[in-house]
Amino acid sequence: MVTAALVPASAEQHHHWSYSGEGGPSHWAELDAKNAACGEGKSQSPVNIRTQDVRRTQLPKLMFNYQPAPLHIIDNGHSVQINVEPGSVLKVGDKSYQLLQFHFHHPSEELMNGQRSEMVAHLVHRDTEGKLAVVAALFRTGQPNATVGLFKIDPDGREAHRVQVKFGRTAVNTIEILEGLQVGDKVILSDMSPYDDPEVVTTIRKRHHAGVIVASKDPGRVEALLDDYTQRFYRDFFATAPPPDRPVE
């Protein structure tokens, strides 16, 4: 037995937007009157960030104050979307934005020098005036339950030894440790994100290394930064370890 549901020919057929076909970018303006800007706009979206065109300037820091909260996962037809209960806030200068939801695109919508990342997470925030602030976090494929070498500080705080640590699941502000560390252990992490003064030209992105290059027309400013960073580097990254049993190349 075969049954069929018939829809009157006069009924309006709604096309959900997509990245190709009848619902693709060239047709977005036709799908809904609210999408008129898609046919009239002159600005590129999604963006293609070309590093040679990027200009360094002083902008407000993005200050994330995310809190553990219940999550509601939905399939909205073109992405997996996670709605977040109130309580997590993004601050940009003197503006505060509440985290509403985050969702994923595979591959990323944004491009870096014409190349897409394997995936992107869009963290969608809104302020009290209804204005949105969306943060894009680009992903690249890694290894599941990755094992990394970390320096674990000895109980007396005088030395540190390298240990192999196996990571498991991660959340907004927690990482599951499967092997290598116990509750109460302290490790050294080379986090360079606090070193973000406008004079910082670049930071060293190499495993187990930390360093910055600064530039300024004011020699006094460079000297002040180096004095400050010397003290902070010692506090943040300094560790000693006994010499190995055999030479290491």
CATH number at residue 55: 3.10.200.10
The predicted structure's pLDDT at residue 5: 38
The predicted structure's pLDDT at residue 4: 36
The predicted structure's pLDDT at residue 146: 75
Residue ranges with strand state E in 106-233: 111-112, 115-116, 119-126, 132-139, 147-153, 160-170, 175-179, 187-188, 200-203, 212-214
Amino acid letter at 156?
D
Tokens 């109460």 sit on residue: 184
The predicted structure's pLDDT at residue 10: 36
User: Are 124 and 72 contained in the same domain?
Assistant: yes
User: Are 235 and 210 contained in the same domain?
Assistant: yes
CB 91 within 8 Å of CB 63: yes
User: Are 184 and 208 contained in the same domain?
Assistant: no
The predicted structure's pLDDT at residue 89: 96
CB 153 within 8 Å of CB 161: no
User: Are 180 and 223 contained in the same domain?
Assistant: no
Q: What is the pTM of this model?
A: 0.59
The predicted structure's pLDDT at residue 135: 95
Which candidate, 207, 171, 173, 201, places its Cα nearest to that of 188? 207
Domain region containing 175:
142-188
In a domain, 18, yes or no: no
Q: With a cut of 70, list the residues of the chain below it in pLDDT.
A: 1-15, 44-45, 142-143, 171-173, 190-191, 205-208, 238-249
Last residue of a domain, one of 103, 121, 139: 139
